[in-house]
């Protein structure tokens, strides 16, 4: 770790050595995995391996966080704007790929087959919008936060304030899902109670982001990307090699799909994995609307956009978006393969002649997961905690031989349980847990930082006390970070929903609230303050209304019926309504009110060209 | 401010944006509307419609973005508005 020390000394030295530093780090991590495998072979207990994996990785992140601590405003908010495109791409990859991508996505693909691919498409294609419509222009403007841009473009604190509200709502929903994910991992692999586990996960998140702000988060996220991608690829490669003899899961997925279809037909399953628009209520309409909401949400989420504030130039910002998507792509095009191999393995298991009596022996991992949380594995409709429970539940239903449909696995456990399912050594389970933790922590760090920055920079500094000294602003930011984090952990402990739904809601809220104001702000000079304010309120309001009314109802009682879906659109695509309303209101109100001043039109001209000084000059602390 | 060169720069930038947007619509939506028809073509066990959603469109998005970064940079340099 001696090399990382130079972060505190000076940026130039550190950035020129990045390749070597992270190369050594990656080698060290692989050596650590081998060490764990050796310890495991020597008979060290599984739970100890779990603790070592999670403990060791968190310590590394914390060390990077502490070494990157800073009291400099530019470093704290935008990492000194000197993160090279490739590394910013890697950090964005980790920032982006959360518990939903790592833990939730392949599980949903397993359950939903083709229809789960809506998530894969939605969470990649959005980067096209980021690159062509938003990111380079925000970089030129030179903001610290997204509301900063709204305030400058739409002249005033009202637009800023609404921007902060939208930012807070979407980022908070998102961060709750991440803490939920860390809780799930800690509960299973460390054997602690879920309600305690969420706070343990929280501690890990805070050490990285609190001291060093954006600078610390950037360099830990690069480290976390390396851990999570290794942890995701190894089990997929393993399954591919065992099943087909060729270690390229993405390619051999074709063979897996063919086998899945054959096994499904043999077992009398009529709804095939590859059948489009048929699983879990995803008809073609919901499939395409989900893709739209996720893509547009990508281009509106403040914690993603603010990553492009850290590059040295506009040009680097554009290249960086491409790198981001490349690093994200590596995981996303593996996920469908991961799901296919896991499903093939399960179908094979069922085909081997599974009964309520022998499942405990053939698939003991199911009982271990059911014991961690009784909603995770259900067989014959009851929690599969032990053989006696399964036999009793199945006898009640008159099931003597188990079929694929009798075994109900929760989407959020499939990735984490796959190593056990496929009979890999426990060290791989530990690795996957560490990867899932890295994914959840890295995203939570970015989100908490986005929230704390908006509250300290936009609300406290820009709206309450313009004369606040630097040190006080940074301390306020850190205190707010902790408060928001604790609140999020509390909400997560109430288990509001599954990870993928919570994350999708966040995307819809961001899309409905921010996308029209951001895009028209750059691309339509006529957009004015009144239009933006009205558009943001209308777009965000409709999205939030639809989400809350269909999920909880007006009385916030889950037991009573909620509002009917409009035209059958699932509430994870709430922005379906917020987005067009937001655009329409913003355009109409803008046209009905006065055009922006000449000074404002010149300002827009300026952000459209890369050359020239950035618009918002930072005060050097 | 709105010199002829700037106007031409912005027009080229806009055209590039619309080309990208068109490709985005094609790979994000249009091609997946024909999933059933494409699924009748099977390569290496992959039904083509499934393949496009699982990998094909994703590869297109990545390639598009690197191409865009290069094209836009060329436009910047051509009009002398690139950063030093």
Assigned domain for B53 exists: yes
Chain A within 8 Å of B56 (Cβ-Cβ)?
no
List, in sequence order, the alpha helices (H) in A352-469.
359-362, 364-372, 387-397, 414-421, 426-453
Of the candidates A167, A98, A206, A188, the one whose C-alpha atom is nearest the C-alpha of residue A489 is A206
The full set of domains in chain A, from first to last, is: 2-341+425-607 (1.20.1730.10), 354-401 (no CATH)
Of the candidates A553, A554, A547, the one whose C-alpha atom is nearest the C-alpha of residue A574 is A547
pLDDT per position as a tens digit, A234-275: 999 999 999 999 999 999 999 999 999 999 999 988 889 999
List, in sequence order, the alpha helices (H) in A272-402.
284-298, 302-305, 314-332, 335-351, 359-362, 364-372, 387-397
Task: Please tell me the distance in Å from B26's CA to the nearest CA on chain A.
Answer: 11
Q: Give me the sign of the Cα torsion angle A498, A504, A507, A512.
A: negative
pLDDT per position as a tens digit, A552-602: 877 766 677 778 888 889 989 999 999 999 999 999 999 999 999 999 999
Query: Residue A465 gets which letter from DSSP?
Result: -
Q: Which residues of B touch A254 (CB under 8 A)?
A: 43-46, 51
**Is A408:A419 a contact under the CB 8 Å cutoff?**
no
Picking from B22, B58, B79 by the largest number of A CB atoms within 10 A of its own CB, the best residue to mutate is B58
Assigned domain for B3 exists: no
Assigned domain for B18 exists: no
Choose the closest CB to A291 out of B6, B29, B82: B29
Of the candidates A381, A448, A22, the one whose C-alpha atom is nearest the C-alpha of residue A223 is A22
Contacts 24+ apart (CB under 8 A), A19-23: A22/A222, A22/A223, A22/A226
pLDDT per position as a tens digit, B18-70: 999 999 999 999 999 999 999 999 998 899 999 999 999 999 999 999 999 99
Residues 6+ apart with CB under 8 A from A555: none
pLDDT tier, A13 (very low <50, low <70, confident <90, very high otherwise): low
Assigned domain for B28 exists: yes
The pair of three-digit structure tokens given for residue A483, joined into one six-digit string: 């408060």
Q: Which residues of B touch A322 (CB under 8 A)?
A: 62, 65-66, 68-69
Residue with tokens 């960086």: A320
Rounded distance, CA A560 to CA A547, Å? 16
Asked whether the predicted pLDDT for residue A12 surpasses 60, the reply is no
Asked whether the predicted pLDDT for residue A620 surpasses 60, the reply is no
Task: Please tell me the distance in Å from A423's CA to the nearest CA on chain B.
Answer: 25
**Is A444:A175 a contact under the CB 8 Å cutoff?**
yes
Task: Give, for A407, the enclosing helix (H) or strand (E).
Answer: strand A407-409
Domain with B47, as residue range(s), is 24-78
pLDDT per position as a tens digit, A507-563: 999 999 999 999 999 999 999 999 999 999 999 999 999 998 888 877 766 677 778
Assigned domain for B83 exists: no
Q: Which residues of A touch B2 (CB under 8 A)?
A: 605
**Closest CA in chain B for residue A289:** B29
Choose the closest CB to A605 out of B1, B29, B66: B1
Per-residue model confidence (pLDDT) at position A384: 86
Per-residue model confidence (pLDDT) at position B2: 59
Per-residue model confidence (pLDDT) at position A2: 36
Assigned domain for B46 exists: yes
- Flag if A318 and B68 touch (Cβ within 8 Å): yes
pLDDT per position as a tens digit, A346-400: 999 999 888 888 888 888 889 888 887 778 899 998 888 888 889 999 998 888 8
- Flag if A114 and B50 touch (Cβ within 8 Å): yes
Number of structural domains (chain B) is: 1
Rounded distance, CA A83 to CA A66, Å? 18
Check residues B3 and A159 and name the one with the higher pLDDT.
A159
pTM of the complete model: 0.92
SS (H, E, C) A95-125: HHCCHHHHHHHHHHHHHHHHHHHHHHHHHHH
């Amino acid at each position: 770790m001696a090399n990382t020390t130079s972060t505190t000394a000076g940026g130039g030295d550190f950035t020129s050595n990045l390749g070597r530093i992270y190369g050594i780090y990656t080698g060290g991590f692989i050596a650590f995995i081998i060490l764990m495998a050796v310890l495991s072979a020597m008979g060290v207990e599984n739970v100890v391996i779990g603790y070592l994996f999670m403990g060791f990785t968190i310590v590394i992140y914390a060390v990077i966080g502490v070494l990157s601590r800073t009291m400099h405003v530019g470093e704290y908010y935008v990492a000194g704007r000197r993160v090279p495109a490739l590394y910013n791409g890697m950090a964005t990859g980790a920032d982006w790929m959360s518990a939903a991508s790592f833990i939730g996505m392949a599980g949903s693909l397993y359950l939903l087959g083709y229809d789960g691919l809506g998530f894969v498409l939605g969470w990649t294609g959005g980067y096209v919008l980021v690159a062509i419509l938003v990111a380079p222009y925000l970089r030129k403007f030179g903001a610290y936060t997204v509301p900063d841009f709204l305030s400058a473009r739409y002249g005033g604190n009202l637009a800023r304030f609404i921007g902060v509200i939208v930012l807070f709502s979407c980022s908070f929903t998102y961060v709750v899902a991440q803490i939920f994910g860390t809780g799930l991992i800690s509960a299973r692999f460390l054997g602690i109670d879920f309600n305690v586990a969420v706070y343990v996960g929280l501690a890990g998140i805070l050490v990285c982001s609190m001291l060093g702000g954006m600078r610390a988060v950037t360099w830990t996220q690069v480290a976390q990307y390396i851990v999570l991608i290794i942890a995701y690829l190894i089990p997929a490669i393993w399954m591919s090699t065992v099943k087909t003899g060729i270690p390229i899961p993405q390619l051999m997925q074709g063979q897996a799909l063919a086998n899945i279809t054959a096994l499904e037909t043999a077992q009398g399953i009529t709804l095939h994995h590859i059948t489009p628009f048929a699983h879990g209520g995803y008809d073609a309409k919901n499939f395409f609307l989900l893709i739209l909401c996720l893509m547009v949400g990508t281009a509106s989420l403040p914690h993603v956009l603010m990553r492009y504030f850290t590059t040295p130039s506009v040009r680097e910002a554009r290249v960086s978006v491409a790198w981001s998507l490349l690093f994200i792509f590596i995981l996303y095009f593996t996920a469908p393969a991961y799901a296919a191999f896991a499903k093939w393995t399960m179908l094979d298991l069922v085909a081997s002649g599974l009964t309520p009596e022998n499942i405990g022996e053939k698939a003991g991992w199911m009982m271990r997961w059911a014991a961690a949380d009784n909603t995770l594995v259900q067989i014959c409709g009851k929690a599969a905690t032990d053989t006696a429970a399964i036999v009793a539940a199945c006898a009640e239903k008159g099931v003597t031989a188990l079929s694929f449909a009798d075994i109900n696995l929760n989407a959020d456990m499939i990735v984490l349980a796959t190593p056990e399912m496929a009979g890999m050594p426990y060290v791989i389970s530990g690795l996957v847990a560490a990867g899932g933790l890295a994914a959840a922590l890295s995203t939570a760090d970015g989100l908490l930082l986005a929230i704390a920055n908006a509250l300290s920079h936009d609300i406290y500094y820009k709206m309450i006390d313009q004369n606040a000294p630097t040190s006080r602003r940074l301390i306020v930011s850190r205190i707010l970070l902790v408060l928001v984090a604790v609140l999020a952990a509390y909400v997560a402990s109430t288990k509001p929903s599954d990870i993928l739904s919570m994350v999708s809601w966040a995307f819809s809220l961001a899309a409905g609230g921010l996308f029209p104001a951001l895009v028209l702000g750059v691309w339509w000079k006529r957009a004015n303050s009144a239009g933006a304010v009205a558009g943001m309120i209308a777009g965000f309001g409709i999205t939030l209304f639809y989400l809350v009314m269909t999920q909880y109802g007006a009385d916030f009682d889950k037991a009573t019926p909620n509002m009917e879906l409009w035209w059958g659109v699932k509430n994870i695509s709430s922005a379906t309504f917020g987005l067009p309303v937001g655009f329409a209101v913003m355009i109409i109100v803008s046209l009905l009110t006065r055009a922006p001043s000449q000074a404002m039109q010149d300002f827009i001209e300026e952000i459209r060209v890369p050359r020239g000084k950035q618009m918002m000059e930072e005060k050097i602390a | 401010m709105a010199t002829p060169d700037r106007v031409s720069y912005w027009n080229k930038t806009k055209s590039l944006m619309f080309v990208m947007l068109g490709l985005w619509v094609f790979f994000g939506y249009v091609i997946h509307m024909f999933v059933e028809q494409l699924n009748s073509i099977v390569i290496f066990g992959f039904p083509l419609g499934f393949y496009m959603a699982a990998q094909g469109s994703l590869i297109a998005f990545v390639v598009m973005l690197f191409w865009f970064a290069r094209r836009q940079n060329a436009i910047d340099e051509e009009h002398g508005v690139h950063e030093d």
